[in-house]
Structure 1
């Protein structure tokens, strides 16, 4: 399959290069839609994916949105424009939007000791005199790691109605020594998920709303998104893709296998805002379609405004997109040169050769996601008003790094396939 794909791609590139360089993206799509659709279908089949959504934004508008495969193998449901996925770490960007709103209202300060908001002391035991701030949490430089206790806590927190303090307090029931690193806050980048439960807890304390309700009221509804952190609030549960891994010769559901029945809300009776923001998965539980993620991209392209609503201020957009950490050769765990620059809840692409490249002629910002068999991307570039969304809910093959970048090969292939559609 590899040779035909490369051949078709070369034909597409030649076709595009022969057209007027000032042609609109809509014209490029019209002229090349069938050829690129064929390439994407080939990528889908070559990687033996369960389902796939690809969306491209150019000139500030959605110019291309295609769906492939199945969202649910048991009932044969196909992926459509309405299909929602648990998009994993793309969720962190939305969580950051919520926190920035509260910062703008003066309810939180990013550089204040987060213990002041939580009502209990959060400290790395290796650096007991070093405060940890929201800024450190947003930039993955808090000195906190996803230790062994995190997984057990996540599985038991609903039934046990556990406070998040139990995970991070050295005297807590779920604390493990590997929760904290040998790096002081602000000195070392180490990507974490558990820390976003702390951020969500602060959002709840500052707003006196549950995290999911806050996002529903202040982000999703005004933005015209049909997304949610709690699957119980997804409009149509049958629109939610099951996430799969291929095990022992068969597709095995990993999460969101609700079989047409909505699950109960994750918020148990008696829950009080701030008890445990991790309950709603601020690090990865966002259920959203490719078109929902396109709304987030448009929000950034429009400098914080969408549908007549200023969701966050322009200055907050600039703060999120600014580089707050850059790899200098020894100050972080880069995940094989994938994370080389990070903003506030934003992965910043640097276009370093053989590393973090999406489109070679522009640097992107946004976030990836990977969990339970899913792989996802949401990236954009403001000067060119472009953006891309890619999501798959499972692959028979193990994801392998690309030959030319540190994205996975399937991502690299998709980026190359749609690149000819962009206005240069």
Structure 2
């Protein structure tokens, strides 16, 4: 981090120079694929991990590994301290009021399911309504469908326009006396659209309705302040934020978490157990049954420290510059169609090439060492909205460069030549 810190202590660097310098922290970016330098443009699926986070994981495994909370020996005390320090790092990163409002989970999907089971199954009843949007990932659709089927509740969906933007007037019209919950994505994983969630949350609260925000695609790219947003729940994953797989968080307002039933039963989520009655632990431990992902959580904390030193505003500004450059290049290409062209988006471009299936696009780009994601991106309702089976998706991070955008453009031209 010495190079990064030196750059941040000056005002003379350009965003492009900064991105180039950061690449040195990511050893995987130096590999070759099919004898070509890797161009990694699949960050919306999973970002890469800097050496600093890798080293932190190794240090835990080699010098600090033990189970937490249930022993008084040295290693357990160290591991417990590091695990809880990571929780506090995440608290500060999203500006939660208290560290007990941060629940470690296996990722965004489990976080949403935790709320569905813990809050939804307790408070949502027959004929109640749940509002989702047409931009949701399957992880924020299927759990609520499962709940609606179990309870006899109803799902209502906010539509989008051709640019991939939510129709907010239609959102407001969906509220009625039976509306009990809103679950919305902050950023669309398929299109990159940034939704106006602060206003959407405020409107829902005017109607007395709590809101869960799927922040999986937002937390790595824009600054998150849960107190400013006033969301009731917020979920995201480490592996999209330069951290390890298998860990994420659920933020929840303390009074709501306290009112919820546990999602899982087992060790550490209890205060006392007899065969007659179990008394649950306080939050956050009430929702962290069994041995948690200790190493991954500590690695997550390290990734948060890394991103915080760069600054989320710095990341957002550079990625917007990169997105603008890439959008301009692809829009100028005959036969290439960008799906979702709102200007309020993170650095994600979903596109189709006339006469070429997205899977073929991905395969041919891979031959040039270019990694993009192809398919429906676990967002089939969006594909149905545009009447397409799938897209190719290029998603950027702060360590990507304009030269890599140029490589993508050249790769697309090569694909078009094959099918011409």
Q: Please give the range of the TM-score, normalised by the shorter of the 2 chains.
A: under 0.3
Structure with higher helix content: 2
TM-score (norm 1): 0.26
TM-score (norm 2): 0.27
